[in-house]
Amino acid sequence: MNKLMRIAVDGPSGAGKSTIAKAVAKRLGIDYIDTGAMYRAIGYKMSVEGIDAGDTERLESMLKDTDIDFVRGDIILDGRVVSDVIRTPEMSRAASVCSALPAVRAKLVEIQRGMGAKKSVIMDGRDIGSNVLKDAEYKFFLTASPEERAQRRYEELVGKGEDVTFEQVLADIKERDHRDTTRKLNPLIKTEDAVEIDSTGLSIDEVTEKMIKEIR
């Protein structure tokens, strides 16, 4: 059997991680795993079931009863496709909040490690190179200025018919950056062995090409 290739892509919200990771996965013929979508799915389930972040007992019992998987690019929560309902500003916030909870991280990191142990993958998130796949063969840290990231998110949301302003999206991005980089448990950091790519002003193709070049 060929050796597994694991590629970790970390970086702040809206840096283009998922778009780039998907493109690289396609080029290399490996699986793409969106760990942010997993935190969003848990945030979604907590909000549907009305579980408070402080209610550890209900949270832990819910997590025991939760099944998360990816099928052909869709995220499946307890047998139901939730790919679209988790992509709202409200769910971005819910995901950011629940991702600071130890019980949530423990559950999702275990599933993510299992996924990376069986096959070659490119996985994106915040703690992939620093925690989930510490021994990944390739690590990237993808950044872009807050304004450029907010502009991309804004266009995406407006395209989906969401009623938002650029200022709201920028404020949201800055708030999430703060929460994701300052939380105690596995905050977003660039590891020493990660290759940093600043995607400000670059096209999707240019960033994809840079990554593929590093890998080859």
Q: Does 6 bind ligand DC (CB under 6 A)?
A: no
Helices (H) and strands (E) in the chain, counts: 8, 8
Burial class (CB in 10 A: 0-12, 13-18, 19+), 54: exposed
Distance CA 204, CA 37 (A): 20
Alpha helix ranges (H) inside the chain: 17-28, 35-49, 56-64, 89-98, 102-118, 146-159, 166-182, 204-215
Q: Between 107 and 176, whose beta carbon lies closer to ligand DC?
A: 176
- Cα 97-99-100 angle, rounded to 5 deg: 75
Residue from the set 6, 8, 16, 36 that interacts with ligand DC by CB under 6 A: 36
Q: Does 152 bind ligand DC (CB under 6 A)?
A: no
Q: Does 39 bind ligand DC (CB under 6 A)?
A: yes
Binding mask 173-212 for ligand DC (x = CB under 6 A): ---x---x--------------------------------
193 phi, psi to nearest 5 deg: -90, 10
Residue from the set 24, 62, 99, 152 that interacts with ligand DC by CB under 6 A: 99
Residue from the set 25, 96, 144, 208 that interacts with ligand DC by CB under 6 A: 96
Q: Does 125 bind ligand DC (CB under 6 A)?
A: yes
The distance of closest approach from Cβ of residue 216 to ligand DC in the complex, given in angstroms and rounded to an integer, is 26
Determine the distance from the C-alpha atom of residue 94 to the mean position of all C-alpha atoms in its chain, rounded to a whole number: 13
**Contact set with ligand DC (CB under 6 A):** 13, 35-37, 39-40, 92, 95-96, 99, 125-128, 176, 180
